[in-house]
Structure 1
Amino acid sequence: MNKNKKYALIIILVTNAILISFLESFIPIPIPVPGIKLGLGNIITMIAVVFLSWKDVLFIVIVRSFVVAILTRGVMMLAFSLSGGILSALVMLLLYKKLSRFLSIKGISIAGAITHNTAQIVVASFILGQVVILYYLPVLIISAVITGLITGSIGEMAINEIRKKEVFKDEK
């Protein structure tokens, strides 16, 4: 794929990741547990994991984290967004590149969601200096399995459609 097309596709993915994450901040989650969200921006990360290089994936995650943190939660939340986003992207990249013949996109998404929540709770514990926050981790892991399955299902459908349409194929 030529560089111009690649850059255009990356810009489209970044823009969609920001938009989806921003819009998600307005969706009320009917669970009385703070910090649980669907993680719909993860759909774009999974698309990037399947079709782009690790550098491109990390670029998308970092830009999305910065913009969404500034627009919705403030700069103080950036540490949480970056730690969760980068670590989950790296785990999903590794699993996809090495184990995709054993794991579905849904399974990779669940692993990414668990990694994201774990990273964020560890960062929160470190920043606040409170180990007791780690007791919240089992609740976040259960929610990560559920939300990871949801976003993984949507991501799998999107990836299959992108493959059918050969969006990331080289032109001849």
Structure 2
Amino acid sequence: MNKKKRDAVIIILICNAILISLLELVIPVPIPIPGVKLGLGNIITVIAIAFLDFKAVLLIVILKCLVVAVLSKGITMLPFSLAGGILSALVMAVLYKKLSRFLSIKGISIAGAMAHNLAQLTVASLILKEIVIMYYLPILLISSIITGLITGSISELTVREVKRREIFSEVNDS
């Protein structure tokens, strides 16, 4: 795929990640626990990890976090989003590249969700200078398993279908 086509694919993925993340804000979460969300925008991150290099994945994650923070949560939430998004993408990329023959996309997604929550709580604890926030981690890790399984299932189906249709067959050919 030439550079223009590759850039167009990346822009489409960024736009989809932003739209999905914004739409997720209007989906009520049945569990009234702060910080628990589905993380549907991570489906795009998994797709990017499966078909693009890590530089492109980071670009998608960072731009999604920036735009969603500005349009919805406010810029004060940016450190939380960036820390969670970047660590999650890093963990998922390493697991996908090194262990995907042993670990399903669902498992990789769960690990990414856990990393995301750990990063966000770490940032909160550093900003507030309170380690007690980490007591909240077990609750968020349990929710990570559930939400990671949901987004991982969707991601797995999507990646399988994209591979079957060879939609990205030319992405890394240039």
Tell me the number of residue pairs that the alignment of Structure 1 and Structure 2 aligns: 172
Whole-Å separation in 2 of the counterparts to 1:32 and 1:158 = 29
Q: Which amino acid aligns with 1:32?
A: P
Whole-Å separation in 1 of the counterparts to 2:97 and 2:163 = 17
Whole-Å separation in 1 of the counterparts to 2:93 and 2:31 = 30
Residue in 1 that maps onto 2:104 = 104
Residue ranges of structure 2 left out of the alignment (5+ in a row): none
Measure how far apart 1:170 and its partner are. 2.3
Measure how far apart 1:93 and its partner are. 0.6
Residue in 2 that maps onto 1:136 = 136
Residue in 2 that maps onto 1:154 = 154
The answer to whether residue 84 in structure 2 is matched with residue 87 in structure 1 is no
Q: Which amino acid aligns with 1:145?
A: I
Residue in 2 that maps onto 1:38 = 38
Q: Which amino acid aligns with 2:6?
A: K
Structure 1 outlier segments of 4+, above 3 Å:
none
Whole-Å separation in 1 of the counterparts to 2:170 and 2:16 = 22
Residue ranges of structure 1 left out of the alignment (5+ in a row): none
Whole-Å separation in 2 of the counterparts to 1:25 and 1:32 = 14
SS in 2 for 1:148: helix
Residue in 2 that maps onto 1:117 = 117
TM-score by length of 2: 0.96
CA RMSD of aligned residues (A): 1.2
Q: Which amino acid aligns with 2:104?
A: S
Whole-Å separation in 2 of the counterparts to 1:151 and 1:143 = 12
TM-score by length of 1: 0.98
Whole-Å separation in 1 of the counterparts to 2:145 and 2:63 = 25
